[in-house]
């Protein structure tokens, strides 16, 4: 078992109409001039943005707004947000949306709090942050877990480079989670979110470094819950309880809970998907689903006990046959599940057909991005990455 | 499903030799003059207190010490600590020990931060706290979960009244958890701790108000883990990994995680035990074990679906027979487990034999303490409490 740190200071306010508490939460954490950062028009069309600004107006809290955060949020918008914050004297960020708005807001917060260097240098492994503007979240998509995590992912348009940066400074002060706000999501996005949530836990689960039975028990319980509720939501998207199960699972899947006592996880499915996301702007969850099965078969032999345990405790595979047979049955059951919620299990189903040249380029960028090689289930080098990309076609 | 708040700001530093980080953690949270509060002599004899003061000396952090916290910590020591803090200008509390030292420190912190009334008025339901001195913890006993919880329990010697008070103000800033520090515990105390940890989760599990499948899955995984590791520790008290599993489970069992989405739980086993603890100074965990089986049989019919689920998912009872048969088999299996780790399953085995007059007195004090009646698995009034005390002899 590995030593660990666990720090989840975010105050979660979970349930119906909780967005009405936004002003008092901002005041509790000292915000006086707010940047409300959101994504596309749905936050406007649904009336949520209006309800939020009404709350702030009623409480006499000043704010400016910045929309336009997109999936795989862009660095150019981050720069725009930083300038706006400086110009307006913003001292608190409020992200209204999903991972795109939250990650973009985190990057803006880093930029304002670290004025002596370009914020991209954090994501390019050249600098460490010394702070971040305080951040609150109103969550509208259950997926990335960014509302309780220390991480953010930004895409630099030049060269389509997608990179992550993590520090405790960026953990949100509060997260308002009203499952009703996720009900208008397209079914495809709901399924992508469920996939992302499961993958955050699975990345931590498939390791060769360290073991904590309690962490595994929590992870397996979380995976079973999301799997069951993803199917419920496929058939009944307005099911409040299922929305709530998935939403809360999304936060717990990425706040650190499901990795305590091990080496931090594998994360290569994410890294492989990041290059896809940089190049094609595909939905993150769908990209993960499209890669995972190929990755799993490629690394399975090097992490067999955990693939077996996953098969039995998460996918309900019977404990009979060889370890390899059980492990393979678990991977197949996971792929069946993905297909059942209309997620892809290869690049073709994802709707992208990279040329051999592009596969080589993605593998190279991925290898550079991880510093040469990476992985815990199995350490992958550039050739391994290329092999997986090719096999996932 | 019920709305909920979740707030666990405590920075956990978990693993071997983590107590060596105490000075930097105190500085991170702004402490300049420390009260080190501990319990009996074991913290002194083991050399832990010396190692802690060496760290503080090396960092130039001033401190005073106050030992003497006992199980069911006494109000008189709390008063002594409050006076000491005021006299010495203490701005940060460091509890070194288990629940007794932590709860006593929380009460001292309330007393210092709320100088306009007697601190007992918090525990006597007459006042609400407006703050608490910041608190850090070096945990040496896995049991109460007070290192991450918002709660504390204090006993007023006059009339032997044991009462709890909860507020987020008292959540520790940091908790240092080194499983090695728990290895010198007597086997009985280790078993008591495992019981207390499981009971914190079971109190939240047996409810009739609200349901969240994810919470149940996490709770069941935690219960299975503690149950398995309690048996490992019975046979091999120096097993580091088992110590670690139980220690981390102790924090997660009482920081709120296992109650999200339901009504907060039943808590009557705790309330019934509190009166025992007030009158007899028995070990809290043993007192809970001695009461639980009788309570469970008394309320089972009113909370049958959850007793059935508990039997199958936690105790491994086969899903065959009537719901009542499965539920009873689960209760019996839990009692068998308690006996297997040398915990009592009735008052006689606990070593106390209250007179009928004392039973009546306990039931009366318990009813007054909960404001007349309480419970979620089944609402219990004073007569119910007396019936359970009588049946638990």
Q: Give the ranges where chain B is alpha helix by DSSP (H).
A: 22-28, 42-45, 48-59, 75-88, 99-113, 120-123, 187-205, 213-235, 240-252, 268-280, 284-299, 304-313, 323-340, 347-350, 356-369, 382-391
Q: Residue B58: inside a domain, yes or no?
A: yes
ipTM of the complex: 0.95
Nearest-10 Cα torsion for A135, A136, A139, A143: 40
pLDDT at A160: 77
At residue A360 the predicted structure's pLDDT band, cuts being 50, 70 and 90, is: very high
Chain A positions in Cβ-Cβ contact with residue B221 (cut-off 8 Å): 214, 217-218, 220-221
How many other C-beta atoms can be found within 10 angstroms of the C-beta atom of residue A203?
A: 25
At residue A83 the predicted structure's pLDDT band, cuts being 50, 70 and 90, is: very high
**Confidence (pTM):** 0.96
pLDDT at A227: 98
| A307's tokens | 């693939």
pLDDT at B188: 97
Q: Is B140 helix (H, G, I), strand (E, B) or coil?
A: coil
Chain B positions in Cβ-Cβ contact with residue A262 (cut-off 8 Å): none
Chain A positions in Cβ-Cβ contact with residue B213 (cut-off 8 Å): 225, 228-229, 245
Nearest-Å Rg of the Cα atoms of chain A is: 20
Q: Residue B302: inside a domain, yes or no?
A: yes
Average pLDDT value for chain B: 96
**CA distance from start to end of chain B:** 37
- What mean pLDDT is predicted for residues B250-267? 96
Rounded to 10 deg, the angle between the B382-391 and B268-280 helix axes is 70
| B8's tokens | 């666990």
pLDDT at B304: 98
A222 shares its domain with A173: no
- What mean pLDDT is predicted for residues A45-56? 97
pLDDT at A286 exceeding the cut of 90: yes
Q: How far is CA B179 from CA A3, A170, B234, B243, in A?
A: 10, 30, 16, 5
Q: Residue A6: inside a domain, yes or no?
A: no
Q: Where does residue A139 fall: left (phi above 0), alpha (psi -120 to 50 degrees), or beta otherwise?
A: beta
Rounded to 10 deg, the angle between the B323-340 and B213-235 helix axes is 30
Nearest by CB to B221, from A2, A14, A221: name it.
Answer: A221
Q: Is A169 helix (H, G, I), strand (E, B) or coil?
A: helix
Q: Residue A3: inside a domain, yes or no?
A: no
Q: Are A137 and A175 in contact (CB under 8 A)?
A: yes
Quickly list DSSP for A31-55.
--EEEEEE-STHHHHTSHHHHHHHH
At which of A181, A204, A228 does a domain end? A181
Q: Residue A374: inside a domain, yes or no?
A: yes
CATH of the domain at A36: 3.40.50.1970
* Structural domain of B168: 11-181
- What mean pLDDT is predicted for residues B113-139? 97
pLDDT at B160 exceeding the cut of 80: no
The Cα A375–Cα A299 span in angstroms is 10
Q: Do A248 and B260 touch (CB under 8 A)?
A: yes
Q: Residue B2: inside a domain, yes or no?
A: no
- Residues recorded for chain B: 393
Report how far Cα A214 is from the mean position of its chain's Cα atoms: 23
Q: How far is CA B65 from CA A128, A300, B41, in A?
A: 38, 54, 13
At which of B116, B148, B181 does a domain end? B181
pLDDT at B300 exceeding the cut of 80: yes
Q: Are A58 and A117 in contact (CB under 8 A)?
A: no
**CA distance from start to end of chain A:** 37
Quickly list DSSP for B65-98.
EE----SS-BHHHHHHHHHHHHHHT--EEEEEES
How many other C-beta atoms can be found within 10 angstroms of the C-beta atom of residue A87?
A: 9
B170 shares its domain with B197: no
Q: Residue A2: inside a domain, yes or no?
A: no
pLDDT at B369: 87
Q: Render pLDDT for B125-136 as a digit per residue (tens, 0 to 9).
A: 899 999 999 999
Quickly list DSSP for A172-231.
-SEEEE-GGGGTTS-HHHHHHHHHHHHHHHHHHHS-SSB--HHHHHHHHHHHHHHHHHHH
pLDDT at B60: 98
CATH of the domain at B311: 1.20.1090.10
Q: Is A77 helix (H, G, I), strand (E, B) or coil?
A: helix
A93 shares its domain with A46: yes
pLDDT at A369: 87
pLDDT at A72: 78
Q: Strands of chain A (E only): list them.
A: 4-14, 33-38, 62-66, 92-97, 135-139, 151-156, 161-166, 174-177
Q: Do B217 and A213 touch (CB under 8 A)?
A: no
Q: Render pLDDT for A179-195 as a digit per residue (tens, 0 to 9).
A: 999 999 999 999 999 99
The Cα A125–Cα B287 span in angstroms is 54
Q: Do B225 and A245 touch (CB under 8 A)?
A: no
pLDDT at B211: 93
The Cα B145–Cα B149 span in angstroms is 6
- According to DSSP, the β-strands at A161-166 and A151-156 are antiparallel
CB neighbour list of residue B116: distance below 8 Å, 6 or more residues apart: none
pLDDT at A36 exceeding the cut of 90: yes
pLDDT at A129: 98
Q: Are A167 and A114 in contact (CB under 8 A)?
A: no
Closest residue by Cα to residue A145 from A218, A81, A194: A194
B290 shares its domain with B339: yes
Q: What percent of chain A has pLDDT over 70?
A: 100
A298 shares its domain with A356: yes
Q: Do A221 and B225 touch (CB under 8 A)?
A: no
How many other C-beta atoms can be found within 10 angstroms of the C-beta atom of residue A67?
A: 17
B274 shares its domain with B159: no
Q: Do A214 and B6 touch (CB under 8 A)?
A: no
A165 shares its domain with A283: no
At residue A70 the predicted structure's pLDDT band, cuts being 50, 70 and 90, is: confident
Chain B positions in Cβ-Cβ contact with residue A9 (cut-off 8 Å): 8-9, 11
pLDDT at B70 exceeding the cut of 90: no
Rounded to 5 degrees, what angle do the CA atoms A21, A22, A24 make? 70
The Cα B269–Cα A45 span in angstroms is 50
A167 shares its domain with A224: no
The Cα B173–Cα A66 span in angstroms is 34
Q: Residue B67: inside a domain, yes or no?
A: yes
The total of structural domains in chain B comes to 2
pLDDT at B159 exceeding the cut of 90: no
Buried b (16+ CB within 10 A) or exposed e, B370-385: beeebbbbbebebebb
B221 shares its domain with B101: no
The Cα B255–Cα B249 span in angstroms is 10
B173 shares its domain with B233: no
At which of A181, A210, A229 does a domain end? A181
A204 shares its domain with A228: yes
Per-residue HEC secondary structure of A313-366 comes to: HCCCCCCCCCHHHHHHHHHHHHHHHHHHCCCCCCHHHHCCCCCHHHHHHHHHHH
**Residues in chain A whose beta carbon is closer than 8 A to a beta carbon of chain B?**
1-9, 11-16, 18, 211-214, 217-218, 220-222, 224-225, 228-229, 240-241, 244-245, 248-249, 252, 257, 260-261
- What mean pLDDT is predicted for residues B136-145? 96
Q: What percent of chain B has pLDDT over 70?
A: 100
- Residues recorded for chain A: 393
Question: Counting beta carbons within 10 angstroms of the beta carbon of residue B174, is it exposed (0 to 12), middle (13 to 18) or buried (19 or more)?
Answer: buried
The Cα A184–Cα A28 span in angstroms is 30
The Cα B233–Cα B241 span in angstroms is 10
Q: Do B214 and A220 touch (CB under 8 A)?
A: no
Nearest by CB to B1, from A1, A214, A244: name it.
Answer: A244
Average pLDDT value for chain A: 96
- What mean pLDDT is predicted for residues A371-380? 97
B304 shares its domain with B373: yes
Q: Do B214 and A252 touch (CB under 8 A)?
A: yes
């Amino acid at each position: 078992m590995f030593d660990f740190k666990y720090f989840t200071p975010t105050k979660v306010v979970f349930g119906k109409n909780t967005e009405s508490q936004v002003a008092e939460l901002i005041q509790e954490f000292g915000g006086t001039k707010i940047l409300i950062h959101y994504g596309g028009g749905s936050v406007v069309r649904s009336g949520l943005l209006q309800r939020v600004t009404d709350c702030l107006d009623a409480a006499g809290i000043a704010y400016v707004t910045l929309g336009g955060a997109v999936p795989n949020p862009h660095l150019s918008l981050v720069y725009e947000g930083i300038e706006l914050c400086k110009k307006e004297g913003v001292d608190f960020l409020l992200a209204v949306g999903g991972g795109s708005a939250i990650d973009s807001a985190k990057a803006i917060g880093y930029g304002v709090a670290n004025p002596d260097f370009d914020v991209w240098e954090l994501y390019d492994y050249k600098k460490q942050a010394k702070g971040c503007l305080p951040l609150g979240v109103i969550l509208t998509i259950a997926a990335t877990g960014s509302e309780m995590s220390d991480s953010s992912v930004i895409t630099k348009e030049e060269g389509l480079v997608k990179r992550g940066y993590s520090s405790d400074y960026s953990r949100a002060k509060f997260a308002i989670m009203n499952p009703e706000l996720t009900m208008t999501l397209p079914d495809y996005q709901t399924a992508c979110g469920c996939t992302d949530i499961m993958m955050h836990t699975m990345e931590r689960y498939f390791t060769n470094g360290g073991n904590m039975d309690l962490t595994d028990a929590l992870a397996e319980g979380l995976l079973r819950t999301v799997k069951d509720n993803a199917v419920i939501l496929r058939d009944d998207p307005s099911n409040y309880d299922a929305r709530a199960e998935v939403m809360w699972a999304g936060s717990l899947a990425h706040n650190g809970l499901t990795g305590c006592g091990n080496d931090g996880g594998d994360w290569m499915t994410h890294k492989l998907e990041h290059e896809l996301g940089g190049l094609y702007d595909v939905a993150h969850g769908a990209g993960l689903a499209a890669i995972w099965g190929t990755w799993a078969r490629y690394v399975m032999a090097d992490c067999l006990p955990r693939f077996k345990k996953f098969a039995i405790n998460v996918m309900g595979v019977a404990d009979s046959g060889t370890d390899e047979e059980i492990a393979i049955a678990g991977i197949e059951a996971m792929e069946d599940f993905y297909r059942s919620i209309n997620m892809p299990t290869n690049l073709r189903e994802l709707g992208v057909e990279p040329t051999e040249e592009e596969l080589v380029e993605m593998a190279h960028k991925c290898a550079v991005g991880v510093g040469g090689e990476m992985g815990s289930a199995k350490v992958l080098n550039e050739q391994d990455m290329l092999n997986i990309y090719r096999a996932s076609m």
